[in-house]
A and B are shown apart, each in its own frame.
Chain A
Amino acid sequence: MKCNRVKLLLSSFQDNELNEKERAEIFLHLKKCEKCKHEFEQLETLKKEIKNLNDIEPIQNFTSLVMDKINRKKRFNIFSIPSLVYSFTFILFFILGFLINGPLKNNVENKQKEIYVSNLLMQGQELSLINVQDKTFNILYNGDLNEK
Chain B
Amino acid sequence: MFSDDEIIKSIKTGKTQNFEIIINRYNKKILNFINRMIFDYDESQNISQDVFLKVYENLNRYKMEGNFQAFIFKIAKNLTLNYIKKRKRVLFFSERFSSDIEGKYFRYEATQYKSIDDKVKKELLISSIMELKENQRIALILKIYLDFSYKKISKITDWSIPKIETLISRAKKSLKNKIFLQENKDKNVYKVREK
Task: Give A residues with C-beta under 8 Å from B.
Answer: 8, 10-12, 14-15, 17, 42-43, 46-47, 49-51, 53-59, 62-63, 65-67, 69-71, 73-74
Contact = CB atoms under 8 A, between A and B. Distances in A.
A29 to B, nearest CB: 17
Contacts of A15: 143, 150, 168
Given A17-B150, A57-B28, 6 more contacts: A17-B149, A43-B172, A55-B32, A57-B31, A58-B45, A67-B19
Contacts of A54: 108-109, 112
A39 to B, nearest CB: 8
Nearest to A14: B172
Given A17-B150, A47-B144, A70-B16, A53 B169 contact: no
B163 interface: no
A65 B168 contact: no
| Interface residue range, chain B | 35 or more
B165 A12 contact: yes
Most chain A beta-carbon contacts within 10 A, residue among B108, B144, B168:
B144
Nearest to A16: B149
Contacts of B16: 70-71, 74
Q: What secondary structure prevails in chain B residues at the interface with A?
A: helix
B100 interface: no
Contacts of A71: 16
A32 B173 CA distance: 22
Given A17-B165, A55-B28, A66-B49, A46 B175 contact: yes
A67 B144 CA distance: 31
A79 to B, nearest CB: 11
Q: Which 9 A-B pairs have the closest CB atoms?
A: A11-B169, A54-B109, A66-B52, A58-B27, A63-B23, A50-B144, A55-B32, A54-B112, A17-B150
B21 to A, nearest CB: 10
Contacts of A8: 169
B13 interface: no
B81 interface: no
B168 A11 contact: yes
Interface stretch (B1-9, B69-77, B120-128): B120-128
B156 to A, nearest CB: 15
Contacts of A11: 165, 168-169, 172-173
Nearest to B17: A67
Contacts of B83: none
Contact of A67 (B20, B32, B41, B129): B20
25 contacts: A8-B169, A10-B169, A11-B168, A12-B169, A15-B150, A15-B168, A46-B172, A46-B179, A49-B122, A50-B125, A51-B145, A54-B108, A56-B32, A56-B35, A56-B41, A56-B108, A57-B31, A58-B45, A58-B48, A59-B45, A62-B48, A66-B49, A67-B17, A69-B49, A69-B53
Nearest to B170: A11
Nearest to B166: A11
Interface in B150-167: 150, 165
Given A49-B125, A51-B145, A66 B53 contact: yes
